């Protein structure tokens, strides 16, 4: 085994934090506590955990709207819950919500517009290179978003200027109601990379160790100025957001969902850990319990935080860094 | 008369025009099998099939240019941009390409494309999923812009837009999708360029767009109780703008409040105000007031309300005038 | 004092800021080896090298988002978009992304990027290479907009823009590149948000942008001969807008002409007019007039002149007021 | 030889019309008769002539700013000159200029914004397919413009919907002052095609017969719903526009220019025609003389046409097809 026991246990924790966190979101949505839309990555956790576990603390993450697994593992739970609940003590005063960001935690914001994250990430990576920093940017991108022009422009420029970035395309086979087959005629999105003179690979995104190993290598190369594209293939189990009944999925699609659920990345990883005696069922239970407790504590904590007041909302210092006065008419 | 929702009216307009003219079709992200991300295109895919109700990849700029190309070739595409906010990605195509081809071709080409999009707040969906974007496109010659308010209007205006031979930016307000109103069974259109006097009155003219029309109606009720008689005008289209209807109301009341949901600075209220001042100066008895969103990005969630205008702001503005 | 051209002043501003702060750099299409497609960046590549004066691929949207990302990381990029018209392709990045990151991050992030572009007509370069585009971006909170007119201002404002911690859209007028004016050798900045009284007068206030300032000066001479005293104000920045200076002039004269090169409908003249009416209504003695381009795409070649505003239009507008 | 004598002579005529036409433009610019900027394709003629000679009359062309060879061979000379001279009797009342278009001649407009032509062409091709027409759209695109997001979005959608289109990338190694090496890290732009599930080839753009044969095949495939990318490699001999001194070209670049000029596509084709006895020097001279005469006649004719008047310029019927009155305030 390429990874130490410690590393493997860490990955287990990260996977379970992702899953249990999102299961909690489902509860909160059901009870009406969470405003807005929540895009769950349940069943896709191996992709993002493979990636974040491969990242150094000094590496940056550019998430999308479906990046709870990556983000929850980089942020402090209570401040993240505050943010999702729209509270003032959240990372972004409750103004960020699913677009949460934290410079300290090296989580950059997810734009509301698909595809924008790619050039944003490229810009950040370029700045890091200018400053001769050793950090890499990992840019998440959906299969659907990869059709956006911004992604093309970003990839071309990243390859041209040899920037420290990995484009991780999380191909979950769906973009809202649109299956992958209706987004593009190419079979593997990683083939785009060759068009920019970059390396590109397509891997099984449901195997966390495959993702981890691929990302280890891609990040190491990126650190040396060799950007690349990694397409991790997985499947979106649920609707587009929690509450979406996904009625656009036909019988064949439903079968795919069932297949995907059988192929649960966490179940698979668990089985491996047990078989290889990395963890016992009791170890796992302890980890899970601990995570659940932390999540529940964090929610209690978050709920104590107030919503932003009118004054905190209409705050021109939060709009302008160089506030030149008035409402900048 | 039967009552149907804004969403149903929108849907009927598309269905009727598609039945009538085989060159009309709908395309966009999730408009087909899903029936639109808010259910507003339900049934169209079933009736017209995948060739005329087309689920597309996610590519706003490319799609809008594609719609221009199709229109140039004699088609009458209706392209849905999922959220008004994403029109920023298609700004060049919608504002700077489609509207100019005719002129640059010396009048040979025409581009009968409709760019539909759902805009506006009310869902707490934050700064990039809640904007009203009509003002972004006001300075671009060659384009027409519709901002329907009622089920009746959304149907009639959309049918007019589809039949119009120029590109039309057609901005529906997503908070209005569920609003019901009278819509006849019989065929009708609402011509582009005709404002609607929503309510007659004599003391103050309120010119309001989309959901601010509803806020204005509420405000008017409150004001009426205090003896202030309010006239409400809904321009329905911004290009062309029905100056006749607006000016004659202003000449009657001499006092004007303009209300829209987009931020005040740079919003269409400025254009309308300037236009009135230019043409009805002698009739004006008080400054023209604008009621609009604050000049800040729209906040996420509940605090959205601190940013967006509502009935109370209208009442206050009117009272300042009388 | 020495006289240099607008282009040289622009160039000096960039050079000085780059010397002062290693985080400042320039990027864009043909800004490096070539020295800018109109020669305005000549010498910068030689002085600062390929790492700080970066020739880029042709990708306006991507580049503007890249500039946002760099700025977020602590850099102070100056991105040149070759023609103002192409800002339509970068509309989302410049208007809807950069300006919102700070607010959406609850004030944690800042985006000190400058988006420079050469706008305007005068070259007969037709509808997609001649536009003034400032109004496109007026309804987007979080952005600042500068529209420099003189060599002195273009230098001082650009330096202020580079040092400002927010995204600034910096629109130079390409017909002014060759215009010369006094620019001190010593370092100075022109703060964003301060209008300039170009010329004092008492009968009419002309608020003019960029090359319309020069047309206004000519118009003023002509009008003065007929005994009409004109005050000319150049706002210099549109966001923030220096309402103090504008309002106090309006209070003095009571008569206003607003002149800009962009089409009248939806141009910033509407916003300025509305703002004045709202705040100085009691002082207004006549309707506010707008002098601007016609609402048609800008024609190619010589006929451009039938579309764009000039001195004669200003003279006429002023005479209609007095 | 794959092509008949008639076809070969036609190509010769088309090449020479391109060359002589542009040489005339140089004269007109020098004498100050032509307003605006003129982007010459001198030395690149084989690309566009290979393409237009392969197109049916019913096929459509989407040109760029550097498409005189293709366009001049599809339009009537005098009306085209009128247009370039900004006269009212031009194809577009003098309002089109280098963006000239003619529906009748199946020349669609070149947008002022690079990259826009690609999705525009895709839209047109899609409409043709909807109408079950047999026509194909040939979309020209520069190497520089291929970095634009619109091109990516267009190619992806063309491949996905199997549209009748050929993307012909004319790689002349320069985009204004920016050499190909500074535009992208990929060696062949045709590699982009694979990223969309399309075929892509890179060919010698200075050999008109290679281009012709490649386009014959690509157009035939496109007609059956198989779009593709053809990259034709050539070289921009002159500055970006006539009058651009191209001082950004260094000594090495100048050497490349000289090499390219030695490799003149017309000279090469001429030599072949002579060697294969397709044409005699006298035939050629007669063709050339005839072309020159026609061009000169057309200019004389064009000069008789007036510039648009104010009324013809400020014509709201030329702005709006459904003119709803007034100035549409
Ligand atoms: C520019 C833009 N267009 C459309 C949308 C609406 N939208 C949000 S998520 C989504 C689907 C994204 O699919 P994909 O990239 O595959 O990510 P996934 O949801 O599968 O994780 C769409 C169309 C958007 N947010 N931005
Ligand atoms: C969107 C856009 N960006 C920039 C320009 C300015 N511009 C005109 S031509 C050109 C270079 C184009 O290079 P390429 O596509 O290789 O075509 P070529 O000129 O070599 O034929 C540029 C940058 C433009 N017209 N449109
Ligand atoms: Mg997906
Ligand atoms: Mg080129």
Closest ligand 1 atom to Cα of A146: 15
The nearest alpha carbon in chain C to D318 belongs to: C296
Burial A184-218 (b: 16+ CB within 10 A, else e): bbbebbbbbbbbbbbbbebbbbbbbbebbbbbbbb
Question: What average pLDDT does range D239-243 have in this prediction?
Answer: 96
Indicate which of C61, C93, C301 best probes the interface with D, i.e. most D CBs within 10 Å of its own CB.
Answer: C301
CA distance B130 to chain D (A): 25
**How much of chain A exceeds pLDDT 90, in percent?**
95
Q: How far is the CA of D207 from the centre of ligand 4 (A)?
A: 18
* Averaged pLDDT score across all residues of chain D: 97
| Residue D35 binned pLDDT confidence (cut-offs 50, 70, 90) | confident
pLDDT tens, residue by residue, D185-206: 999 999 999 999 999 999 999 9
Q: How far is the CA of A67 from the centre of ligand 3 (A)?
A: 12
pLDDT value, residue A131 = 98
Domain match, B165 and B243 both: no
Contact partners, residue A22, CB within 8 Å, separation at least 6: A40, A41, A42, A68, A69
Question: End-to-end alpha-carbon separation of chain C, Å?
Answer: 37
Number of Cβ within a 10 Å radius of residue D293 = 10
Name the DSSP class of B270: H
Closest ligand to D140 CA?
Answer: 2
Question: What average pLDDT does range A59-82 have in this prediction?
Answer: 97
Beta-bridge mates of residue B79: B27, B115
pLDDT value, residue C104 = 96
d(C-alpha C260, C-alpha A56), whole Å: 53
Domain match, B201 and B299 both: yes
pLDDT value, residue A325 = 87
Domain A5-319 has CATH 3.10.20.30: no
Number of Cβ within a 10 Å radius of residue D177 = 24
Q: Per the domain annotation, does B189 fall within a domain?
A: no
Do residues A110 and A64 lie in contact, with contact meaning Cβ atoms separated by under 8 Å? Answer: yes
Domain match, B177 and B210 both: no
- Of the candidates B134, B149, B182, which is a domain's last residue? B182
* pLDDT greater than 80 at residue D36: no
Closest ligand 2 atom to Cα of D142: 15
pLDDT tens, residue by residue, C297-314: 999 988 999 999 999 999
The nearest alpha carbon in chain D to B106 belongs to: D92
Going from N- to C-terminal start, the domains of chain D cover 5-319
Report the sign of the C-alpha dihedral through residues A229, A232, A235, A240, in that order: negative
Cβ neighbours of D102 in B, within 8 Å: 108
Contact partners, residue C109, CB within 8 Å, separation at least 6: A101, A103, A109, C72, C101, C102
User: In a structure prediction context, what are the per-residue pLDDT tens digits for chain B, which is 322 residues long?
Assistant: 999 999 999 999 999 999 999 999 999 999 999 999 999 999 999 999 999 999 999 999 999 999 999 999 999 999 999 999 999 999 999 999 999 999 999 999 999 999 999 999 988 888 899 999 999 999 999 999 999 999 999 999 999 999 999 999 999 999 999 999 999 999 999 999 999 999 999 999 999 999 999 999 999 999 999 999 999 999 999 999 999 999 999 999 999 999 999 999 999 999 999 999 999 999 999 999 999 999 999 999 889 999 999 999 999 999 999 9
Put simply, the answer to whether D149 touches A147 (Cβ < 8 Å) is: no
Count of the separate structural domains present in chain C: 2
Question: What average pLDDT does range C227-244 have in this prediction?
Answer: 98
Put simply, the answer to whether C109 touches A315 (Cβ < 8 Å) is: no
Question: What average pLDDT does range A122-138 have in this prediction?
Answer: 98
Put simply, the answer to whether A320 touches C67 (Cβ < 8 Å) is: no
Backbone angles phi, psi at A212, to 5 degrees: -60, -50
Q: Per the domain annotation, does C287 fall within a domain?
A: yes
**B127 in contact with A, Cβ within 8 Å:** yes
Question: What average pLDDT does range A164-185 have in this prediction?
Answer: 98
Question: End-to-end alpha-carbon separation of chain A, Å?
Answer: 62
Q: How far is the CA of A234 from the centre of ligand 3 (A)?
A: 9
The nearest alpha carbon in chain A to B45 belongs to: A248
Closest ligand 2 atom to Cα of D141: 15
| Residue A328 binned pLDDT confidence (cut-offs 50, 70, 90) | confident
| Residue C105 binned pLDDT confidence (cut-offs 50, 70, 90) | very high
Cβ neighbours of D116 in B, within 8 Å: 65, 92-93, 97
| Residue A91 binned pLDDT confidence (cut-offs 50, 70, 90) | very high
Of A101, D86, A289, which Cα lies nearest the Cα of C299? Answer: D86
Put simply, the answer to whether A86 touches B294 (Cβ < 8 Å) is: no
Closest ligand 2 atom to Cα of C29: 23
Closest ligand to D148 CA?
Answer: 2
Q: How far is the CA of A147 from the centre of ligand 4 (A)?
A: 24
Establish whether residue D52 lines the binding site of ligand 2, counting it when its CB lies within 6 angstroms of any ligand atom.
no
pLDDT value, residue C159 = 98
* pLDDT greater than 80 at residue A51: yes
Diameter over CA atoms, chain C:
57
Cα-Cα-Cα-Cα torsion C87, C89, C92, C94, nearest 10 degrees, comes to -30
d(C-alpha A172, C-alpha A175), whole Å: 8
Q: Per the domain annotation, does B127 fall within a domain?
A: yes
pLDDT tens, residue by residue, D307-327: 999 999 999 999 999 999 878
* pLDDT greater than 90 at residue C124: no
* pLDDT greater than 80 at residue D329: no
* pLDDT greater than 80 at residue D1: no
Could you give the ipTM of this predicted complex? 0.98
d(C-alpha D150, C-alpha B69), whole Å: 13
Of A231, A175, A171, which Cα lies nearest the Cα of A201? Answer: A231
Establish whether residue C29 lines the binding site of ligand 2, counting it when its CB lies within 6 angstroms of any ligand atom.
yes
CATH number at residue C260: 3.40.50.920
Cβ neighbours of C124 in D, within 8 Å: 35-36, 86
Establish whether residue D176 lines the binding site of ligand 2, counting it when its CB lies within 6 angstroms of any ligand atom.
yes
* pLDDT greater than 80 at residue A309: yes
**B294 in contact with D, Cβ within 8 Å:** no
Distance of CA D297 to the CA centre of its chain: 23
pLDDT tens, residue by residue, C14-46: 999 999 999 999 999 999 999 999 999 999 999
Domain match, C165 and C236 both: no
* pLDDT greater than 80 at residue A35: no
For D60-172, where are the E strands, in sequence order? Answer: 60-62, 137-142, 165-171
Ligand 1, atom 20: closest residue by C-alpha: A175
Pairing state between β B196-199 and B230-234: antiparallel
Put simply, the answer to whether B106 touches D96 (Cβ < 8 Å) is: yes
Domain match, B178 and B264 both: no
* Ion ligand 4 nearby residues (CB, 5 A): D 142-144, 172, 174-175
- Top mutation candidate among A43, A110, A142 for ligand 1, by most atoms within 8 Å of CB: A142
pLDDT value, residue B47 = 98
| Residue C61 binned pLDDT confidence (cut-offs 50, 70, 90) | very high
Closest ligand to C38 CA?
Answer: 2
Backbone angles phi, psi at C237, to 5 degrees: -130, 145
Q: Residue B247 in 3-state DSSP?
A: helix
Cβ neighbours of C261 in B, within 8 Å: none
pTM of this prediction?
0.98
Domain match, B113 and B240 both: no
Distance of CA B4 to the CA centre of its chain: 19
Do residues B192 and B243 lie in contact, with contact meaning Cβ atoms separated by under 8 Å? Answer: no
Cβ neighbours of A128 in C, within 8 Å: 73
CA distance D37 to chain C (A): 8
Cα-Cα-Cα-Cα torsion B108, B113, B115, B116, nearest 10 degrees, comes to 150
pLDDT value, residue D263 = 95
Cβ neighbours of B239 in D, within 8 Å: 328-329
pLDDT tens, residue by residue, A105-128: 999 999 999 999 999 999 999 999
- Of the candidates B151, B182, B213, which is a domain's last residue? B182
Q: How far is the CA of A36 from the centre of ligand 1 (A)?
A: 15
CATH number at residue C101: 3.40.50.970
- Top mutation candidate among A38, A144, A146, A231 for ligand 1, by most atoms within 8 Å of CB: A144
- Pick from C65, C97, C107: CB nearest A318: C107
Beta-bridge mates of residue C199: C232
For chain C, how are helix, strand and coil distributed in percent, rounded to 5?
A: 40, 20, 40
Please tell me the number of Cα atoms within 13 Å of D190 on its side-chain side.
17
pLDDT value, residue B124 = 86
Q: Which chains touch C (3 or more CB pairs under 8 A)?
A: A, B, D
Do residues A168 and A214 lie in contact, with contact meaning Cβ atoms separated by under 8 Å? Answer: no
Backbone angles phi, psi at D55, to 5 degrees: -80, 145
CA distance B48 to chain C (A): 33
pLDDT tens, residue by residue, D101-160: 999 999 999 999 999 999 999 999 999 999 999 999 999 999 999 999 999 999 999 999
Burial C109-145 (b: 16+ CB within 10 A, else e): bbbbbbbbbbbbbeebbbbbbbbbbbbbbbbbbbbbb
Query: C124 vs A241, which has greater pLDDT?
Result: A241
Q: Per the domain annotation, does B80 fall within a domain?
A: yes
Do residues B287 and C273 lie in contact, with contact meaning Cβ atoms separated by under 8 Å? Answer: no
**B39 in contact with A, Cβ within 8 Å:** no
d(C-alpha A254, C-alpha A259), whole Å: 9
**How much of chain D exceeds pLDDT 90, in percent?**
95
Q: Per the domain annotation, does B312 fall within a domain?
A: yes
pLDDT value, residue D277 = 97
Distance of CA C172 to the CA centre of its chain: 5
Closest ligand to C56 CA?
Answer: 2
pLDDT value, residue C125 = 87
- Pick from C124, C295, C306: CB nearest D327: C295
Question: What average pLDDT does range A314-329 have in this prediction?
Answer: 91
Pairing state between β C237-239 and C256-263: unpaired
Q: Per the domain annotation, does C160 fall within a domain?
A: yes
pLDDT tens, residue by residue, A196-227: 999 999 999 999 999 999 999 999 999 999 99
Interface of D with A in 187-206 (CB under 8 A): 187, 189, 191-198
**C301 in contact with D, Cβ within 8 Å:** yes
Name the DSSP class of C102: H
Of D153, D155, D61, which Cα lies nearest the Cα of B61? Answer: D153
Distance of CA D210 to the CA centre of its chain: 17
Put simply, the answer to whether C58 touches D319 (Cβ < 8 Å) is: no
d(C-alpha D94, C-alpha D88), whole Å: 5
| Number of inter-chain CB pairs under 8 A, A vs C | 159
| Number of inter-chain CB pairs under 8 A, A vs D | 80
CA angle A46, A50, A54 (to 5 degrees): 165
Domain match, C117 and C219 both: no
For A164-252, where are the E strands, in sequence order? Answer: 165-171, 174-175, 178-179, 199-204, 228-233
Q: Per the domain annotation, does C135 fall within a domain?
A: yes
**C191 in contact with D, Cβ within 8 Å:** no
Q: Which residues' Cβ are closer than 6 Å to ligand 1?
A: A 39, 65-66, 112-115, 142-145, 172, 174-176, 236, 240; B 29, 58, 60, 82, 86, 89
In Å, what is the CA distance from D201 to each residue of A65, B15, D166, D207, D210?
37, 43, 11, 15, 12
- Of the candidates B139, B158, B182, which is a domain's last residue? B182
Please tell me the number of Cα atoms within 13 Å of A259 on its side-chain side.
8
d(C-alpha A282, C-alpha D314), whole Å: 82
pLDDT tens, residue by residue, A178-199: 999 999 999 999 999 999 999 9
Cα-Cα-Cα-Cα torsion B262, B263, B265, B271, nearest 10 degrees, comes to 20
d(C-alpha B72, C-alpha B90), whole Å: 18
* Averaged pLDDT score across all residues of chain A: 97
Distance of CA D281 to the CA centre of its chain: 28
Domain match, C228 and C97 both: no
pLDDT value, residue A75 = 98
* Averaged pLDDT score across all residues of chain C: 97
Q: Per the domain annotation, does C190 fall within a domain?
A: no
Set C129, C173, C215, C313: catalytic member: C129
**Residue span of the structural domain in which B218 resides:** 196-321
Name the DSSP class of B174: G
């Amino acid at each position: 085994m390429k990874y130490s026991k410690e590393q493997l246990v860490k990955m287990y924790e990260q996977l379970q934090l992702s899953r249990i966190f999102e299961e909690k979101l489902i509860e909160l949505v059901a009870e009406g506590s969470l405003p807005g839309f929540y895009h769950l990555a349940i069943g896709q956790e191996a992709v993002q955990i493979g990636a974040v576990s491969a990242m150094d603390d000094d590496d940056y993450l550019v998430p999308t709207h479906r990046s709870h697994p990556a983000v929850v593992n980089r942020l402090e739970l209570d401040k993240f819950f505050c943010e999702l609940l729209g509270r003032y003590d959240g990372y972004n005063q409750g103004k960020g919500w699913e677009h949460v960001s934290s410079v300290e935690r090296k989580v950059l914001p997810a734009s509301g517009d698909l595809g924008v994250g790619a050039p944003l990430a490229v810009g950040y990576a370029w700045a890091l290179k200018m400053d001769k920093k050793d950090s890499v940017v990992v840019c998440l991108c959906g299969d659907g978003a990869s059709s956006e022009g911004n992604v093309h422009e970003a990839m071309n420029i990243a390859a041209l200027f040899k920037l420290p970035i990995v484009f991780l395309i999380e191909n979950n086979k769906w973009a809202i109601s649109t299956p992958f087959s209706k987004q593009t005629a190419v079979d593997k999105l990683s083939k785009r990379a060759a068009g920019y003179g970059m390396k590109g690979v397509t891997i099984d995104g449901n195997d966390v160790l495959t993702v981890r190993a691929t990302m280890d290598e891609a990040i190491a190369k990126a650190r040396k100025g060799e950007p690349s594209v990694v397409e991790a293939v997985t499947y979106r189990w649920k609707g587009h957001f929690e509450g979406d009944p996904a009625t656009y999925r036909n019988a064949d699609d439903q079968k795919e969902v069932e297949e995907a659920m059988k192929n649960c990345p966490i179940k698979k990883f668990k089985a491996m850990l047990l078989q290889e005696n990395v963890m016992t069922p009791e170890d796992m239970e302890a980890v899970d319990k601990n995570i659940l407790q932390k999540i529940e504590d964090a929610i209690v904590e978050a709920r104590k935080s107030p919503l932003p007041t009118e004054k905190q909302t209409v705050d021109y210092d939060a709009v302008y860094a160089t506030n030149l006065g008035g409402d900048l008419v | 008369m039967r009552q149907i929702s804004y969403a149903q009216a929108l849907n009927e307009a598309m269905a009727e025009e598609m039945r009538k003219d085989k060159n009309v079709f709908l395309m966009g992200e999730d408009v087909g099998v899903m029936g639109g991300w808010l259910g507003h295109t339900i049934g169209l895919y079933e009736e017209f099939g995948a060739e005329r109700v087309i689920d597309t990849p996610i590519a706003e700029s490319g799609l809008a240019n594609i719609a221009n190309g199709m229109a140039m070739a004699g088609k009458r595409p209706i392209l849905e941009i999922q959220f008004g906010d994403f029109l920023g990605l298609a700004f060049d195509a919608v504002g700077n390409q489609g509207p100019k081809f005719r002129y640059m071709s010396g009048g040979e080409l025409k581009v009968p494309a409709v760019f539909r999009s759902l805009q506006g707040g009310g869902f707490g969906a934050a700064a990039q999923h809640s904007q009203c974007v009509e003002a972004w496109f006001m300075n671009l010659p060659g384009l027409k812009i519709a901002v329907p308010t009622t089920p009746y209007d959304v149907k009639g205006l959309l049918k007019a837009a589809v039949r119009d031979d120029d590109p039309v930016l057609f901005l529906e307000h997503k908070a209005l999708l569920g609003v019901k109103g009278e819509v006849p069974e019989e065929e009708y259109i609402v011509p582009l360029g005709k404002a609607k006097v929503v309510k007659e009155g004599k003391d103050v003219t309120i010119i309001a767009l989309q959901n601010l029309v509803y806020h204005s109606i509420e405000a008017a009720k409150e004001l009426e109780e205090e003896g202030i008689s309010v006239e409400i005008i809904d321009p329905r289209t911004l290009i062309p703008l029905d100056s006749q209807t607006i000016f004659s109301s202003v000449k009657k009341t001499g006092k004007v409040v303009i209300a829209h949901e987009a931020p005040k600075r740079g919003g269409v209220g400025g254009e309308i105000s300037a236009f009135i001042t230019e043409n009805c100066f002698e009739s004006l008895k008080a400054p023209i007031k604008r009621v609009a969103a604050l000049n800040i990005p729209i906040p996420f969630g509940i605090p959205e309300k601190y940013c967006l205008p509502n009935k109370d702001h209208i009442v206050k503005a009117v009272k300042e005038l009388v």
